[in-house]
Amino acid sequence: MAQGLKTIIKKELADHFSSYRFTIIFALIAMLSLITAYMVGLNIKNELAGVAKPRFIFLMLFTSSGALFSLVQFVAFFGPLVGLVLGFDTINRERNEGTLSKLLSQPIYRDVVINGKFLAGVVMIAVMMISIVMVITGLGLLIMGIVPGFEELWRIFLYLIISIIYISLWLGVAILFSIVFRSTATSALAALAMWIFFSFFVSLGANILANALSSDTTESDPDKVMTRAKIVKAFSLTSPMELYTDATATIIDPMRKSTRSMVSMGPLESISMARFSGPLPLSQSILIVVPYIISLIAIAVICFAISYTVFMRQEIRSM
Amino acid sequence: MSTKAIIETHELTKIYNGQAAVDQLTFIVNEGEIFGFLGPNGAGKTTTLLMLLGLTEPTSGKARVLGLDPTRDPIKVKSRIGYLQENMGFYPDLNARQMLRFVGELNGVTGSAAETRIESALQTVGLFEEIGKKIGAYSRGMRQRLGIAELLIKDSKVAFLDEPTLGLDPDATNRMIELIQSLARDQHMTILLSSHMLQQVQKICHRIGIMIKGKMVVQGPIDQLAQEKFGVGKEKYSLEQIYMKYFQEA
Ligand SMILES: Nc1ncnc2c1ncn2[C@@H]1O[C@H](COP(=O)(O)OP(=O)(O)OP(=O)(O)O)[C@@H](O)[C@H]1O
Ligand SMILES: [Mg+2]
């Protein structure tokens, strides 16, 4: 391991674990996901009374909507916030406090600083996701009295991995902002803007673009409708959120045959759907999802490449 | 004293936004000496130190520290040099022991060897009583002494001290100066000392260099400079008078 990497990871982890910031956001997310899972669990239990149990019922804990949204949607929306909060001021705060020059006047390479901060953040993200999933699984066992099957466990595991990659990508974006912007307030704003942009504007933009490209929106010609749908899809896939929702949907909802966008369904709806269609085998789900995962990783790698090139040549003094 | 050059620059230049912060700087620091690096605010002293450490890339010119090029070999250079920076740069949430442990680990000093070194270093600088106190609660003088303790942890043979006496009361200034002198004497450190406390510099420095607007206007032993400017030995003139003379001429 590169010299100093372990030391920096250790220090960053200690900082995260003792920071109010992480404690608050973690408590918030744990609370919300608990409530969601609890309500979904109760729903499923009620609606299943006296009905034969369909396959993959356990996964419904993650996919069917509780009060407002399903757990999967919840992570897609709030996960980025965790990544951004963990990293938006990590370099510029140290630069402003003068600790960055202290760090870099020790015998370590500059990239070790970025890598250490990123890896420590990934550990935090993993800890958070794993504990949330474990709590939900436990809750499901308690409320529904159903033990997840082997394949379901695999799917939950894959869901975890994809989620960690997804949130880490946002951490990478946050670290990039903390390098590029000197002021922590600016990088916080930029991170927030980025999050809102991808949460709301990309899908909106996709529709506007599709409208502009295909003249008539009330077109009933199936070819035209298809083209339109393809434009919307292609454009949305520039958004990591879209990539993530589609990928996890395929993994965690085997009844899905493609990565069409997520519609929130109540448990009964999904159960009745399950009655009429066979599930996609795990291997097929994975096959569909691999390109999505690669795209997510590619975005993260691009962020990193930019971070490295900027940071290597940057002045490290605070003014 | 041997005359092996520890630091050597040749026409070292750093240009910020079209303005030269360091302008064709050429100077030498020999092994075992305390070199007083003087100059008015904004002369380019800190910039020079950053270039010697490989933290800032020179626009042009050459620098050698312990025979190494700081731009090419930054890791080796940084492992051999202790740097006390202007603003200290300590993590306020750590206590002295944690901070020194962190620096030690980054320099490959770990385990019980590190613990003994930390304790004896804090004893040397007179901070042993405050070992468990958060650095955020340290006074400026305490932080400066902690900076010296950090040099002892690294056990570096060369130290760059950027204004270690800044903002200290007269008594603390004298103790800091004595501490620096003892580093040179007991640890055989070569010290590049930037300071505005001319009276104290005069007491401990073997040679000085005066930097004005990015250029080294003069360097050498103090009595030699006095000889040059006033034609008499240094007993007659204080460093302050010599400095002002050069400053007005520049
Ligand atoms: N990051 C930067 N960007 C642009 N100019 C800079 C930067 N850092 C320093 N300078 C300029 O370089 C010049 C030299 O600054 P430097 O900090 O080296 O001076 P100094 O001799 O250490 O002064 P002082 O005694 O006040 O510490 C100054 O004119 C300063 O404005
Ligand atoms: Mg300075």
- The answer to whether the CB atoms of B76 and A107 lie below 8 A apart is yes
- What do you get for the CA distance between the two ends of chain B, in Å? 32
**The pLDDT value given to residue B133:** 92
| Stretch A95-115: mean pLDDT | 93
- Residue A62, token pair as written in the block: 């993650």
pTM here? 0.89
Partner-chain residue, chosen from B55, B56, B105, that has the shortest CB–CB distance to A7: B105
**The pLDDT value given to residue A268:** 59
**The pLDDT value given to residue B14:** 93
Q: CB-based contact (8 Å) between B27 and chain A?
A: no
Q: For residue B232, what pLDDT band results from cuts at 50, 70 and 90?
A: low
Please list all protein residues whose beta carbon sits less than 5 angstroms from ligand 2, which is an ion. B 46
Question: Which domains, ranges and CATH numbers included, belong to chain B?
Answer: 5-249 (3.40.50.300)
pLDDT tens digits, one per residue of B92-129 = 999 999 999 999 999 999 989 999 999 999 999 999 99
Q: How far apart are CA A126 and CA A83, in angstroms?
A: 11
pLDDT tens digits, one per residue of A36-63 = 878 887 877 777 777 666 677 778 777 7
Smallest CA-to-CA distance from B105 within B93, B96, B115, B92 is with B115
Q: What is the DSSP string of A155-221?
A: HHHHHHHHHHHHHHHHHHHHHHHHHH-SSHHHHHHHHHHHHHIIIIIHHHHHHHHHHHHSS-TT---
**The pLDDT value given to residue B201:** 85
- Residue B122, token pair as written in the block: 């804090």
**The pLDDT value given to residue A135:** 84
Q: How far apart are CA A310 and CA A179, in angstroms?
A: 8
- The answer to whether the CB atoms of B85 and A104 lie below 8 A apart is no
Q: How far apart are CA B220 and CA B27, in angstroms?
A: 10
Q: Which ligand is nearest to the CA of B50?
A: 1
Question: Residue A272: is its pLDDT beyond 60?
Answer: no
Q: Which ligand is nearest to the CA of B41?
A: 1
Q: How far apart are CA A4 and CA A108, in angstroms?
A: 6
Q: Check residues B235 and A131 and name the one with the higher pLDDT.
A: A131
| Stretch A170-190: mean pLDDT | 95
Question: Residue A269: is its pLDDT beyond 80?
Answer: no
Q: Check residues A165 and A260 and name the one with the higher pLDDT.
A: A165
Question: Residue A270: is its pLDDT beyond 70?
Answer: no
Residues in chain B: 250
**Residues B13/B57, Cβ–Cβ less than 8 Å:** no
Q: Indicate the range of A206-220, A257-271, B99-113 predicted with least confidence.
A: A257-271
Smallest CA-to-CA distance from A92 within A318, A286, A252, A267 is with A318
**The pLDDT value given to residue A261:** 41
- Identify the residue among A5, A100, A106, A319 best suited for mutation to test binding to B, counting B beta carbons within 10 A and taking the highest: A106
- Other C-beta atoms within 10 Å of B199: how many? 11
Q: Burial of A248 by CB count in 10 Å (0-12 exposed, 13-18 middle, 19+ buried)?
A: buried
Q: How far apart are CA B219 and CA B186, in angstroms?
A: 26
- Distance in Å, alpha carbon of A169 to nearest chain B alpha carbon: 28
**The pLDDT value given to residue A259:** 44
- Reading phi first (left if > 0) and then psi (alpha if -120 to 50, else beta), residue B111 is in left
**Residues B30/B4, Cβ–Cβ less than 8 Å:** yes
- Other C-beta atoms within 10 Å of B80: how many? 17
**Residues B90/B135, Cβ–Cβ less than 8 Å:** yes
**Residues A74/A62, Cβ–Cβ less than 8 Å:** no
pLDDT tens digits, one per residue of A191-210 = 999 998 888 777 677 777 77
Q: In degrees, to the nearest 5, what angle opens at C-alpha B33 toward C-alphas B32 and B34?
A: 130
- What do you get for the CA distance between the two ends of chain A, in Å? 33
Q: CB-based contact (8 Å) between A26 and chain B?
A: no
| Stretch B182-204: mean pLDDT | 89
pLDDT tens digits, one per residue of B22-53 = 999 999 999 989 999 998 898 999 999 999 99
**The pLDDT value given to residue A13:** 95
Q: Indicate the range of A105-114, B129-138, B199-208 predicted with least confidence.
A: B199-208
**The pLDDT value given to residue B150:** 94
**The pLDDT value given to residue A260:** 42
**The pLDDT value given to residue A65:** 67
pLDDT tens digits, one per residue of A68-102 = 677 788 888 888 999 999 999 999 999 999 999 99
Question: Residue A281: is its pLDDT beyond 70?
Answer: yes
**Residues A25/A82, Cβ–Cβ less than 8 Å:** yes
Q: CB-based contact (8 Å) between A218 and chain B?
A: no
Q: How far apart are CA A316 and CA A101, in angstroms?
A: 6
Q: For residue A262, what pLDDT band results from cuts at 50, 70 and 90?
A: very low
ipTM of the complex: 0.89
Q: How far apart are CA B157 and CA B191, in angstroms?
A: 9
Kindly give the distance from the C-alpha atom of residue B211 to the centroid of ligand 1, in angstroms, as a whole number.
Answer: 13
**The pLDDT value given to residue A115:** 94
Question: Residue B233: is its pLDDT beyond 70?
Answer: no
Q: In degrees, to the nearest 5, what angle opens at C-alpha A288 toward C-alphas A282 and A291?
A: 130
Q: CB-based contact (8 Å) between B107 and chain A?
A: yes
Q: How far apart are CA A148 and CA A159, in angstroms?
A: 15
**The pLDDT value given to residue A231:** 73
Kindly give the distance from the C-alpha atom of residue B151 to the centroid of ligand 1, in angstroms, as a whole number.
Answer: 24
Above pLDDT 70, what percent of chain A? Answer: 85
**The pLDDT value given to residue B1:** 47
pLDDT tens digits, one per residue of A127-166 = 999 988 888 888 888 887 778 888 888 888 999 999 999 9
Q: How far apart are CA A316 and CA B33, in angstroms?
A: 29
Q: Indicate the range of A207-221, B102-116, B152-166 predicted with least confidence.
A: A207-221
Q: Check residues B18 and A274 and name the one with the higher pLDDT.
A: B18
Q: How far apart are CA A22 and CA A85, in angstroms?
A: 8
| Stretch B186-208: mean pLDDT | 89
**The pLDDT value given to residue A257:** 46
Q: How far apart are CA A96 and CA A268, in angstroms?
A: 55
- Identify the residue among A21, A102, A117 best suited for mutation to test binding to B, counting B beta carbons within 10 A and taking the highest: A102
Q: In degrees, to the nearest 5, what angle opens at C-alpha B87 toward C-alphas A102 and B118?
A: 55
Q: How far apart are CA A295 and CA A136, in angstroms?
A: 28
Q: What is the DSSP string of B42-89?
A: TSSHHHHHHHHTTSS--SEEEEEETTB-TTT-HHHHHHHEEEE-TT--
